[in-house]
Amino acid sequence: MKKIGVIGSGTMGIGIAQVAAMNACTVFLYDNNGAQIDQALHHLQNLLEKLVAKQKTSKEQATEIMANIKSCKRLEDLKHCDLIIEAIVESKELKIKVFQELENHISDHCIIGSNTSSISITSLSSGLSIPQRFIGVHFFNPAPLMPLVEVIPGLLTDLNLPQQICKLMQSWGKVSIFAKDVPGFIVNRIARPYYGEALRIVEEKIASPQQVDEAMRLLGNFRMGPFELMDFIGIDVNLAVSTTVFRDYFYDPKYKPSLLQQRMDEAKLHGRKTGRGFYDYSEGAERPQAQKDEVLYRQIFLRIIAMLINEAVEAKRLEIASDEDLELAVQKGLNYPKGLLGWGREIGYSVISQTLQTLYEEYQEERYRQSPLLKKLH
Protein backbone atom coordinates (compact mmCIF):
# COMPACT_ATOMS: atom_id res chain seq x y z
CA MET A 1 0.00 0.00 0.00
CA LYS A 2 1.84 3.02 -1.31
CA LYS A 3 -1.01 5.38 -2.17
CA ILE A 4 -2.58 6.65 1.03
CA GLY A 5 -5.52 9.01 1.31
CA VAL A 6 -6.10 11.12 4.42
CA ILE A 7 -9.42 12.89 4.96
CA GLY A 8 -9.13 15.90 7.26
CA SER A 9 -6.12 18.20 7.63
CA GLY A 10 -6.43 19.02 11.31
CA THR A 11 -3.79 18.04 13.88
CA MET A 12 -4.37 14.30 13.49
CA GLY A 13 -4.87 14.36 9.72
CA ILE A 14 -1.65 16.22 8.93
CA GLY A 15 0.18 14.09 11.50
CA ILE A 16 -0.95 10.84 9.84
CA ALA A 17 -0.09 12.30 6.43
CA GLN A 18 3.40 13.10 7.70
CA VAL A 19 3.90 9.54 9.00
CA ALA A 20 2.86 8.01 5.66
CA ALA A 21 4.96 10.51 3.67
CA MET A 22 8.00 9.76 5.84
CA ASN A 23 7.62 6.13 4.79
CA ALA A 24 7.81 6.81 1.06
CA CYS A 25 4.05 6.75 0.48
CA THR A 26 2.28 9.14 -1.85
CA VAL A 27 -0.31 10.87 0.32
CA PHE A 28 -3.49 12.45 -1.00
CA LEU A 29 -4.61 14.89 1.70
CA TYR A 30 -8.24 15.97 1.37
CA ASP A 31 -10.17 18.62 3.27
CA ASN A 32 -13.34 20.42 2.22
CA ASN A 33 -11.72 23.57 3.61
CA GLY A 34 -8.96 24.56 1.19
CA ALA A 35 -7.55 27.18 3.55
CA GLN A 36 -7.22 24.52 6.27
CA ILE A 37 -5.07 22.32 4.02
CA ASP A 38 -2.82 25.23 3.09
CA GLN A 39 -2.44 26.14 6.75
CA ALA A 40 -1.68 22.53 7.72
CA LEU A 41 0.96 22.12 5.01
CA HIS A 42 2.52 25.47 5.95
CA HIS A 43 2.69 24.32 9.58
CA LEU A 44 4.30 21.02 8.52
CA GLN A 45 6.84 22.88 6.37
CA ASN A 46 7.81 25.04 9.37
CA LEU A 47 8.07 21.97 11.59
CA LEU A 48 10.34 20.17 9.14
CA GLU A 49 12.55 23.26 8.79
CA LYS A 50 12.99 23.29 12.57
CA LEU A 51 13.90 19.58 12.51
CA VAL A 52 16.49 20.26 9.80
CA ALA A 53 17.92 23.15 11.86
CA LYS A 54 18.22 20.80 14.86
CA GLN A 55 19.82 18.16 12.59
CA LYS A 56 17.04 15.67 13.41
CA THR A 57 16.33 15.19 9.69
CA SER A 58 18.11 16.15 6.48
CA LYS A 59 17.04 18.88 4.07
CA GLU A 60 16.60 16.21 1.39
CA GLN A 61 14.32 14.12 3.62
CA ALA A 62 12.24 17.17 4.53
CA THR A 63 11.86 18.08 0.85
CA GLU A 64 10.86 14.50 0.00
CA ILE A 65 8.22 14.41 2.76
CA MET A 66 6.59 17.60 1.49
CA ALA A 67 6.77 16.37 -2.12
CA ASN A 68 5.02 13.13 -1.12
CA ILE A 69 1.91 14.98 0.10
CA LYS A 70 -0.59 16.07 -2.56
CA SER A 71 -3.27 18.60 -1.63
CA CYS A 72 -6.76 17.54 -2.75
CA LYS A 73 -9.90 19.67 -2.95
CA ARG A 74 -12.27 16.90 -4.15
CA LEU A 75 -13.01 13.45 -2.73
CA GLU A 76 -12.74 11.99 -6.23
CA ASP A 77 -9.03 12.90 -6.15
CA LEU A 78 -8.62 9.91 -3.78
CA LYS A 79 -9.88 7.41 -6.39
CA HIS A 80 -6.52 5.66 -6.89
CA CYS A 81 -5.71 5.17 -3.18
CA ASP A 82 -5.02 1.75 -1.65
CA LEU A 83 -5.97 2.90 1.85
CA ILE A 84 -7.86 5.98 3.01
CA ILE A 85 -7.78 7.08 6.65
CA GLU A 86 -10.46 9.49 7.87
CA ALA A 87 -9.46 11.96 10.57
CA ILE A 88 -12.26 14.51 10.78
CA VAL A 89 -14.25 15.78 13.78
CA GLU A 90 -15.67 13.13 16.17
CA SER A 91 -19.20 13.07 14.78
CA LYS A 92 -20.75 9.76 13.78
CA GLU A 93 -23.21 11.43 11.41
CA LEU A 94 -20.54 13.50 9.61
CA LYS A 95 -18.18 10.55 9.28
CA ILE A 96 -20.88 8.27 7.81
CA LYS A 97 -21.85 11.00 5.33
CA VAL A 98 -18.22 11.31 4.17
CA PHE A 99 -17.80 7.52 3.84
CA GLN A 100 -20.97 7.15 1.79
CA GLU A 101 -19.85 9.88 -0.61
CA LEU A 102 -16.33 8.45 -0.72
CA GLU A 103 -17.59 5.05 -1.90
CA ASN A 104 -18.88 6.70 -5.09
CA HIS A 105 -15.31 7.56 -6.13
CA ILE A 106 -13.06 4.66 -5.07
CA SER A 107 -12.47 1.09 -6.22
CA ASP A 108 -14.01 -1.89 -4.43
CA HIS A 109 -10.51 -2.90 -3.29
CA CYS A 110 -9.70 0.36 -1.49
CA ILE A 111 -9.58 -0.01 2.30
CA ILE A 112 -11.30 2.63 4.41
CA GLY A 113 -9.98 3.32 7.90
CA SER A 114 -11.19 5.69 10.61
CA ASN A 115 -9.01 7.41 13.17
CA THR A 116 -11.98 7.71 15.54
CA SER A 117 -10.98 7.54 19.19
CA SER A 118 -14.24 6.16 20.57
CA ILE A 119 -17.06 5.78 18.00
CA SER A 120 -18.15 2.23 17.17
CA ILE A 121 -16.43 0.88 14.06
CA THR A 122 -19.42 -1.36 13.33
CA SER A 123 -21.81 1.59 13.45
CA LEU A 124 -19.57 3.68 11.16
CA SER A 125 -19.43 0.87 8.60
CA SER A 126 -23.19 0.29 8.64
CA GLY A 127 -23.90 2.80 5.86
CA LEU A 128 -21.28 1.41 3.46
CA SER A 129 -22.07 -0.81 0.49
CA ILE A 130 -18.90 -2.81 1.29
CA PRO A 131 -18.55 -2.75 5.12
CA GLN A 132 -15.98 -5.57 4.95
CA ARG A 133 -13.34 -3.05 3.82
CA PHE A 134 -13.80 -0.81 6.87
CA ILE A 135 -11.57 -0.81 9.98
CA GLY A 136 -10.50 1.40 12.87
CA VAL A 137 -6.92 2.73 12.64
CA HIS A 138 -6.52 4.89 15.72
CA PHE A 139 -3.32 6.97 15.99
CA PHE A 140 -2.40 9.04 19.03
CA ASN A 141 -1.45 12.71 19.18
CA PRO A 142 1.11 13.71 17.97
CA ALA A 143 0.96 10.94 15.36
CA PRO A 144 4.61 11.24 14.18
CA LEU A 145 5.90 10.84 17.76
CA MET A 146 3.45 8.53 19.52
CA PRO A 147 4.30 4.92 18.60
CA LEU A 148 0.93 3.26 19.28
CA VAL A 149 -1.82 2.51 16.77
CA GLU A 150 -5.00 0.69 17.79
CA VAL A 151 -6.34 -1.57 15.04
CA ILE A 152 -10.07 -2.21 15.55
CA PRO A 153 -12.14 -4.50 13.32
CA GLY A 154 -15.92 -4.12 13.32
CA LEU A 155 -18.35 -7.04 13.27
CA LEU A 156 -18.44 -6.94 9.46
CA THR A 157 -14.72 -6.29 8.81
CA ASP A 158 -12.93 -8.84 6.60
CA LEU A 159 -11.07 -11.28 8.85
CA ASN A 160 -7.75 -10.79 7.03
CA LEU A 161 -7.83 -6.99 7.15
CA PRO A 162 -6.61 -6.40 10.76
CA GLN A 163 -3.39 -8.34 10.13
CA GLN A 164 -2.88 -6.50 6.84
CA ILE A 165 -3.19 -3.11 8.55
CA CYS A 166 -1.02 -4.26 11.44
CA LYS A 167 1.81 -5.18 9.03
CA LEU A 168 1.53 -1.80 7.32
CA MET A 169 1.69 0.05 10.65
CA GLN A 170 4.74 -1.97 11.67
CA SER A 171 6.42 -1.07 8.37
CA TRP A 172 5.78 2.57 9.34
CA GLY A 173 7.59 1.98 12.63
CA LYS A 174 4.44 1.86 14.75
CA VAL A 175 3.50 -0.48 17.59
CA SER A 176 0.09 -1.85 16.62
CA ILE A 177 -2.33 -3.60 18.94
CA PHE A 178 -5.68 -5.27 18.29
CA ALA A 179 -8.74 -4.07 20.17
CA LYS A 180 -12.36 -5.17 20.28
CA ASP A 181 -14.98 -2.77 18.97
CA VAL A 182 -16.10 -1.56 22.40
CA PRO A 183 -16.63 2.07 23.50
CA GLY A 184 -13.24 3.76 23.88
CA PHE A 185 -11.49 0.65 22.48
CA ILE A 186 -8.53 -0.05 24.82
CA VAL A 187 -6.78 3.22 25.58
CA ASN A 188 -9.70 5.61 25.91
CA ARG A 189 -11.68 3.13 27.98
CA ILE A 190 -8.89 2.33 30.44
CA ALA A 191 -7.82 5.99 30.73
CA ARG A 192 -11.22 7.35 31.78
CA PRO A 193 -10.60 7.09 35.57
CA TYR A 194 -7.37 9.09 35.27
CA TYR A 195 -9.51 12.10 34.38
CA GLY A 196 -12.84 11.16 35.95
CA GLU A 197 -11.57 10.37 39.43
CA ALA A 198 -9.24 13.38 39.43
CA LEU A 199 -12.18 15.63 38.55
CA ARG A 200 -14.27 14.00 41.28
CA ILE A 201 -11.56 14.70 43.87
CA VAL A 202 -11.47 18.39 42.90
CA GLU A 203 -15.26 18.69 42.73
CA GLU A 204 -15.43 17.38 46.30
CA LYS A 205 -12.84 19.97 47.42
CA ILE A 206 -10.57 17.21 48.66
CA ALA A 207 -7.63 18.70 46.75
CA SER A 208 -6.77 21.32 44.13
CA PRO A 209 -5.87 20.49 40.50
CA GLN A 210 -2.27 21.41 41.34
CA GLN A 211 -2.20 18.95 44.25
CA VAL A 212 -3.72 16.14 42.19
CA ASP A 213 -1.23 16.71 39.37
CA GLU A 214 1.73 16.83 41.75
CA ALA A 215 0.58 13.69 43.57
CA MET A 216 0.41 11.70 40.32
CA ARG A 217 3.77 13.02 39.09
CA LEU A 218 5.61 12.45 42.37
CA LEU A 219 4.09 9.15 43.53
CA GLY A 220 3.15 7.62 40.18
CA ASN A 221 5.95 9.06 38.05
CA PHE A 222 3.39 10.16 35.45
CA ARG A 223 4.79 12.64 32.94
CA MET A 224 1.72 14.86 33.27
CA GLY A 225 -0.95 15.05 35.93
CA PRO A 226 -4.62 14.62 34.91
CA PHE A 227 -5.39 18.36 34.77
CA GLU A 228 -2.22 19.24 32.86
CA LEU A 229 -3.08 16.47 30.43
CA MET A 230 -6.70 17.58 29.98
CA ASP A 231 -5.44 21.10 29.23
CA PHE A 232 -2.98 19.65 26.70
CA ILE A 233 -5.51 17.37 24.97
CA GLY A 234 -8.27 19.98 25.06
CA ILE A 235 -10.97 19.91 27.72
CA ASP A 236 -13.65 19.85 25.00
CA VAL A 237 -12.02 16.87 23.26
CA ASN A 238 -11.56 14.99 26.52
CA LEU A 239 -15.17 15.62 27.54
CA ALA A 240 -16.44 14.46 24.14
CA VAL A 241 -14.67 11.10 24.52
CA SER A 242 -15.96 10.69 28.09
CA THR A 243 -19.50 11.50 26.96
CA THR A 244 -19.32 9.01 24.07
CA VAL A 245 -18.01 6.21 26.29
CA PHE A 246 -20.67 6.95 28.95
CA ARG A 247 -23.49 6.93 26.39
CA ASP A 248 -22.27 3.84 24.53
CA TYR A 249 -21.97 1.86 27.78
CA PHE A 250 -25.67 2.64 28.35
CA TYR A 251 -24.91 5.27 31.00
CA ASP A 252 -22.87 3.03 33.28
CA PRO A 253 -22.11 5.31 36.31
CA LYS A 254 -18.50 4.15 36.20
CA TYR A 255 -18.00 6.36 33.14
CA LYS A 256 -20.16 9.32 34.16
CA PRO A 257 -18.63 12.59 32.87
CA SER A 258 -17.84 15.48 35.18
CA LEU A 259 -20.12 18.49 35.65
CA LEU A 260 -17.02 20.61 36.34
CA GLN A 261 -15.54 19.61 33.00
CA GLN A 262 -18.84 20.35 31.26
CA ARG A 263 -18.94 23.85 32.75
CA MET A 264 -15.33 24.44 31.61
CA ASP A 265 -16.35 23.39 28.11
CA GLU A 266 -19.39 25.68 28.14
CA ALA A 267 -17.16 28.59 29.16
CA LYS A 268 -14.80 27.75 26.25
CA LEU A 269 -11.96 27.21 28.75
CA HIS A 270 -10.46 24.39 26.72
CA GLY A 271 -6.88 24.47 27.96
CA ARG A 272 -3.70 25.44 26.16
CA LYS A 273 -5.37 26.09 22.81
CA THR A 274 -7.63 28.78 24.30
CA GLY A 275 -5.01 30.17 26.69
CA ARG A 276 -6.80 28.98 29.80
CA GLY A 277 -8.17 25.76 31.24
CA PHE A 278 -7.39 24.39 34.66
CA TYR A 279 -4.21 26.46 34.34
CA ASP A 280 -3.62 29.93 32.90
CA TYR A 281 -1.40 29.89 29.78
CA SER A 282 -1.44 33.61 29.05
CA GLU A 283 1.93 35.33 28.74
CA GLY A 284 3.48 36.08 32.11
CA ALA A 285 0.94 34.00 34.05
CA GLU A 286 2.42 32.19 37.03
CA ARG A 287 1.31 28.68 37.86
CA PRO A 288 0.04 28.45 41.46
CA GLN A 289 2.12 26.19 43.67
CA ALA A 290 0.51 23.12 45.19
CA GLN A 291 0.29 23.00 48.97
CA LYS A 292 2.23 19.82 49.72
CA ASP A 293 0.57 17.20 51.91
CA GLU A 294 2.18 13.74 51.85
CA VAL A 295 -0.79 11.95 53.43
CA LEU A 296 -3.23 13.59 51.03
CA TYR A 297 -0.97 12.85 48.05
CA ARG A 298 -0.89 9.17 49.00
CA GLN A 299 -4.70 9.07 49.20
CA ILE A 300 -5.05 10.79 45.82
CA PHE A 301 -2.57 8.47 44.12
CA LEU A 302 -4.09 5.30 45.57
CA ARG A 303 -7.64 6.34 44.68
CA ILE A 304 -6.82 7.12 41.05
CA ILE A 305 -4.44 4.20 40.47
CA ALA A 306 -6.93 1.75 42.01
CA MET A 307 -9.60 2.90 39.57
CA LEU A 308 -7.18 2.60 36.63
CA ILE A 309 -6.01 -0.88 37.61
CA ASN A 310 -9.59 -2.05 38.17
CA GLU A 311 -10.45 -0.87 34.64
CA ALA A 312 -7.46 -2.72 33.17
CA VAL A 313 -8.37 -5.90 35.05
CA GLU A 314 -11.96 -5.67 33.78
CA ALA A 315 -10.67 -5.22 30.20
CA LYS A 316 -8.59 -8.37 30.73
CA ARG A 317 -11.64 -10.26 32.02
CA LEU A 318 -13.70 -9.22 28.99
CA GLU A 319 -10.80 -10.10 26.65
CA ILE A 320 -10.93 -6.68 25.01
CA ALA A 321 -7.25 -7.26 24.22
CA SER A 322 -4.43 -9.61 25.22
CA ASP A 323 -2.51 -8.95 28.44
CA GLU A 324 0.51 -7.88 26.38
CA ASP A 325 -1.53 -5.43 24.30
CA LEU A 326 -3.25 -4.01 27.40
CA GLU A 327 0.16 -3.22 28.89
CA LEU A 328 1.48 -1.81 25.60
CA ALA A 329 -1.64 0.34 25.22
CA VAL A 330 -1.09 2.37 28.38
CA GLN A 331 2.68 2.61 28.03
CA LYS A 332 2.84 3.47 24.31
CA GLY A 333 -0.52 5.21 23.90
CA LEU A 334 -0.81 7.03 27.22
CA ASN A 335 2.87 7.31 28.21
CA TYR A 336 2.16 5.70 31.58
CA PRO A 337 5.36 4.69 33.37
CA LYS A 338 4.20 1.06 33.80
CA GLY A 339 1.59 -1.35 32.52
CA LEU A 340 -1.44 -1.37 34.83
CA LEU A 341 -1.68 -5.14 35.25
CA GLY A 342 1.95 -5.31 36.36
CA TRP A 343 1.45 -2.24 38.54
CA GLY A 344 -1.45 -3.98 40.24
CA ARG A 345 0.74 -6.96 41.08
CA GLU A 346 3.45 -4.59 42.36
CA ILE A 347 1.14 -2.63 44.68
CA GLY A 348 -0.81 -5.76 45.54
CA TYR A 349 -4.25 -6.57 44.18
CA SER A 350 -5.48 -6.89 47.75
CA VAL A 351 -4.56 -3.23 48.38
CA ILE A 352 -6.37 -2.19 45.18
CA SER A 353 -9.42 -4.23 46.19
CA GLN A 354 -9.50 -2.76 49.69
CA THR A 355 -9.17 0.80 48.34
CA LEU A 356 -12.16 0.28 46.05
CA GLN A 357 -14.16 -1.39 48.83
CA THR A 358 -13.54 1.60 51.11
CA LEU A 359 -14.67 4.00 48.36
CA TYR A 360 -17.77 1.91 47.69
CA GLU A 361 -18.70 1.84 51.37
CA GLU A 362 -18.25 5.61 51.63
CA TYR A 363 -20.15 6.62 48.48
CA GLN A 364 -22.49 3.65 47.92
CA GLU A 365 -22.04 4.13 44.17
CA GLU A 366 -21.68 1.53 41.40
CA ARG A 367 -18.84 3.69 40.10
CA TYR A 368 -16.58 1.91 42.60
CA ARG A 369 -17.67 -1.66 41.93
CA GLN A 370 -14.81 -4.11 41.54
CA SER A 371 -14.18 -6.27 38.52
CA PRO A 372 -15.12 -9.87 39.40
CA LEU A 373 -11.62 -10.84 38.24
CA LEU A 374 -9.97 -8.42 40.69
CA LYS A 375 -11.53 -10.30 43.58
CA LYS A 376 -9.98 -13.53 42.29
CA LEU A 377 -6.50 -12.07 41.86
CA HIS A 378 -5.76 -11.44 45.54
Question: Catalytic: 117?
Answer: yes
Choose the catalytic residue: 188, 310, 353, 371.
Answer: 188
Q: Tell me the C-alpha distance between 71 and 48, whole Å.
A: 17
- Closest by alpha carbon to 189, among 107, 132, 120, 128? 120
- Closest by alpha carbon to 108, among 88, 137, 128? 128
Dihedral sign (CA 117, 126, 31, 18): positive
- Strand order across the beta sheet in which 111-114 lies: 69-72, 26-30, 3-7, 83-86, 111-114, 134-139, 148-153, 175-178
Choose the catalytic residue: 117, 120, 238, 258.
Answer: 117
Q: Tell me the C-alpha distance between 336 and 344, whole Å.
A: 13
Angle between helices 192-203 and 294-317 (to 10 degrees): 140
Question: Catalytic: 324?
Answer: no
Choose the catalytic residue: 86, 138, 242, 311.
Answer: 138
Burial 98-136 (b: 16+ CB within 10 A, else e): bbeebbebbeeebbbbbbbbbbbbbbbbbebeebbbbbb
Question: Catalytic: 115?
Answer: no
Q: Tell me the C-alpha distance between 217 and 49, whole Å.
A: 33
Question: Catalytic: 33?
Answer: no
Choose the catalytic residue: 86, 150, 228, 311.
Answer: 150
On the 0-12 / 13-18 / 19+ scale of CB atoms within 10 A, 245 is: buried
Q: Tell me the C-alpha distance between 22 and 142, whole Å.
A: 14
Q: Looking at the annotation, which residues are catalytic?
A: 117, 138, 150, 188
